[in-house]
Amino acid sequence: MSRILVVEDNEGNLELIRVVLEMAGHEVIGAPSADVGLLAARKARPDLILMDMHLPGLDGYEATRIIKADETLKNIPVIAVTAITERTDEERVRACGCEGFIAKPVDTRSLATQINEFLKPGGKAQ
Amino acid sequence: MNVEKDRRTKELLKAVRLKTQFLGNMSHELRTPLNSIIGFSELLMDGLVGELSEKQGHYMKIIHSSGAHLLRLINDILDFSKLEAGMLEVFNEPTDLSEVLEEVLRTYSVIVERKGIEVHVDIPPDLPPMLTDRRKLTQIIDNLLSNSVKFTNQGRVELAAKRKEGMLEVTVTDTGIGIEPQELPYIFDPFHQVDASTTRRYEGTGLGLALVKKLLQIQKGTIEVQSSPAQGSSFTFRLPFVEFKPEKPAVATTREELIQGLPAAGERPILVVEDNPLAANLMSMWLSEAGYNVQIASTGEEALQKAVTLCPAVITLDILLPQMDGWRVLHRLKEMPETKDTPIIVVSIVEDKSFGLSLGAVDYMIKPVSRSNLISKIERLTKSGRRFHRVLVIDDNPADISLVEEILQLDGYEVLKATSGVDGLKAARDEKPDLVILDLMMPDLDGFDVMRLLESDEATRGLPIILFTAKDLTQIERANLGTNIHDIFGKTQLDRDSFRQKIAELLTSSQPEGSNE
């Protein structure tokens, strides 16, 4: 079981990811904005962060840069949850420091497996 | 006249940008609720939140497939609009056709099995990887295959590829319902669905083939179709086949190789990219008077070509160019190994400095530019040989090194990396950097030790150092810092602009070590 912080501003989508990950046995902390997400990351020390990139105010790219520049947080893998439609999107996600991405709309059937890939010691995020 | 023209161009550009923004936002806004619709219906359908009755399950399937269909529509419309607006870029990368086919076929394995159609694939086993836009190739094949599978209820779908006369030729043949001859001329038109009644029977967006044709067109490809009703259809597309050779040809790719054998920065030409002959001549005159060899390119294509062949010391780049605009030229220049380190100054009426800098330009000047301003900027980039400055980054965290490296590369510095204090000291001695960026908290030898040792060594004494650290320094620590510490930047909330500026200040006052000027 891992503790996963999900930063997502859409209530429905947050709930969806929460249900799927909880059914897979994870503990989920939800944050509706990047600000709350950063706060939660510092307080709760999650094992992994799922980051919606398109957020009001501080967006996911900026939030990830802040996490990756923070000595105490930078080792937590950040996985972008975003609709990647072009190569440039993927480059942007990588450039801000995300360890990987999960395509939107999330596939409820494979989300848990995709997450586990990043949680495995020596897995994708390492 | 010119003022009026400039104003209109500005407005037009603004309109294009607004449209891009609108499309981007719209697609996000539409996809977000769909994400919930598709996701939750999937959960219910899979019985993960309790068993559904047969009828409930059936309705849930309808909600789910309608959601998925709506999503496809949105994606197609978005792609199509981007294509129409000339906003889809082509990214060529090494692509293995058989991998692409495998990926596409996997999506259709279930439906193919259910329908009982036979799928046959024929690719020459020795087909080498090609340089092409993998995403777009996948999209093209996916669309053609999806049609074939959709319109074929018995028999087979055949996919054959070959290399022919410098082109990749792919044919998708099916034994499906076929197309009436009078319909054939229109099937590549957007929103044209063969016989309105089929729209109901065969769900589709009516954009698939139009998209395919456009995707091919922007890559100098073609498509043709042969079909007879009740017999089946055969679509053949061709794309330029540029073979990917993994062993790099004799082109220099590392910075060292490139720099070797080149004349000093001061002797290499300045490339002025400008389509307006008056402006080009004016800049050329100013720069020639100041002693530079000036070359002019009046289109984006010409600029890319000359940037490679002439190895210019600096490129000035106009944004409003015919056909390929300056943003794309800038993006390409920063992609190509031969030109990615060449300093580029954007000179344009388009006021979008942050975008220009984010694409990798070293500077941004708004037209009209003054003679003195232009010359001084070019001089800074050539005379100081800024391009040759080497910066050593010592940090035990590779992510932080990458961050600093990314910033330094914007200004064309050469970046040396060391992940421990020991390696850092060695690099400082052997590689003779012009500046050190130093982390404080490192295992074994920490930043304070490194500073002391650099100062005590004859070879590295006086080397300027910028601290880049997450540590808050105490008063005492601050007081004890040596005279070589020129600035301290916190890792959290790094102010990139002042970071870059500080580095530039420190380096422009010094002659680069190891430069041949």
DSSP assigned state of B239:
E
- The per-residue pLDDT for B383 is 61
Confidence at residue A2, expressed as pLDDT on a 0 to 100 scale: 92
Residue A122: predicted pLDDT: 57
In the predicted model, what is the mean pLDDT of residues B160-166?
A: 91
- Span B65-122, pLDDT tens digits: 888 888 888 888 888 877 777 777 777 888 888 888 888 887 788 788 888 888 888 8
d(CA B215, CA B217): 6
Across the interface, do B27 and A95 touch by the CB < 8 Å criterion?
Answer: no
Whether A102 contacts A109, CB under 8 Å: no
Taking the C-alpha atoms of residue B149 and residue A114, their distance in angstroms, rounded to an integer, is 29
Report residues of chain A scoring pLDDT below 50. 125-126
What mean pLDDT is predicted for residues B434-450? 86
Of A51 and B369, the structure prediction assigns the larger pLDDT to: A51
Of the candidates A16, A88, A97, the beta carbon closest to that of B399 is on A97
Helix (H) or strand (E) holding B285: helix B277-289
Question: Residues B107, B142: contact at Cβ < 8 Å?
Answer: yes
Contacts of B384 (CB under 8 A, 6+ apart): B507, B508, B511, B512
Residues from chain B contacting residue A68 (CB–CB below 8 Å) = 399, 403
Which of A74-78, B244-248, B410-414 is predicted least confidently?
A: B244-248
Rounded CA separation A20/A25 (Å):
9
Query: Any chain A CB within 8 A of the CB of B135?
Result: yes
Q: Mean pLDDT highest for which of A70-79, B338-347, B422-431?
A: A70-79
B27 and A83: CB-CB below 8 Å? yes
Question: Closest residue of A to B133, CA-based?
Answer: A87
Average pLDDT in chain B: 81
Please give the structure tokens belonging to residue A105: 């709309």
Most confident of B52-61, B92-101, B261-270: B52-61
| pLDDT for position B205 | 67
Q: Check residue B388 and give its pLDDT.
A: 61
Test B35 with A95 for CB contact under 8 angstroms: no
Alpha helices in B154-230 (DSSP H): 196-201, 208-217
Q: Which residue has the higher pLDDT, B331 or B106?
A: B331
**Does the pLDDT of residue B29 top 90, yes or no?**
no
Position B19 pLDDT exceeds 70: yes
Q: Alpha-carbon distance B308 to B303, whole Å?
A: 9
Return phi, psi of residue B238, to 5°.
-125, 140
DSSP B81-117: HHHHTT-PPP--EEE-HHHHHHHHHHHHHHHHHHHT-
> Which of B36, B48, B491 is opposite residue A12, by nearest beta carbon?
B36
pLDDT band at B249 (very low <50, low <70, confident <90, very high): very low
Closest CA to B377 of B343, B326, B348, B426: B343
Residue B223 or B456, more confident: B223
DSSP state of B287: H
Distance CA(B417)–CA(B395), nearest Å, equals 8
**Strand-pair category, A100-103 with B93-95:** unpaired
Which of A74, A83, A109 has the CB atom closest to B397's CB atom?
A: A74
CA A12 from centre of chain: 16
- Residue B257 reports pLDDT greater than 50: no
Comparing B193 with A18, the larger pLDDT belongs to: A18
Which residues of chain B are within 8 Å of residue A83 when distances are taken between CB atoms?
27-28, 31
Tally DSSP H helices, then E strands, for chain B. 17, 17
pLDDT, tens digit (0-9, with 9 covering 90-100), for B282-308: 888 888 877 888 899 988 989 998 898
Among the ranges given (A93-102, B16-25, B30-39, B292-301), the one the predictor scored with the smallest mean pLDDT? B16-25
Predicted local distance difference test score (pLDDT) of residue A31:
94
What is the CB neighbour count within 10 angstroms for residue A56?
9
Position with higher pLDDT, B345 vs B257: B345
Phi, psi of B50 (to 5 degrees): 115, 150
B400 Cβ under 8 Å from any chain A Cβ: yes
The residue ranking higher by pLDDT, B102 or B232, is: B232
If you measure CA to CA, which chain B residue comes closest to A9? B32
Strand-strand pairing, B414-418 and B435-438: unpaired
Task: Tell which residue, B211, B202, B101, B200, has the closest CA to residue B158.
Answer: B101
Q: b/e string for A75-106 if b means 16 or more Cβ within 10 A?
A: ebbbbbbbbbbbbeebebbeebbbbbbbebbb
CA atoms within 13 A on the CB side of B79: 26
Higher pLDDT, B33 or B476: B33
Tokens of B309: 């062949």
> Both tokens of residue B263?
């004349």
User: What pLDDT is attached to residue B189?
Assistant: 85
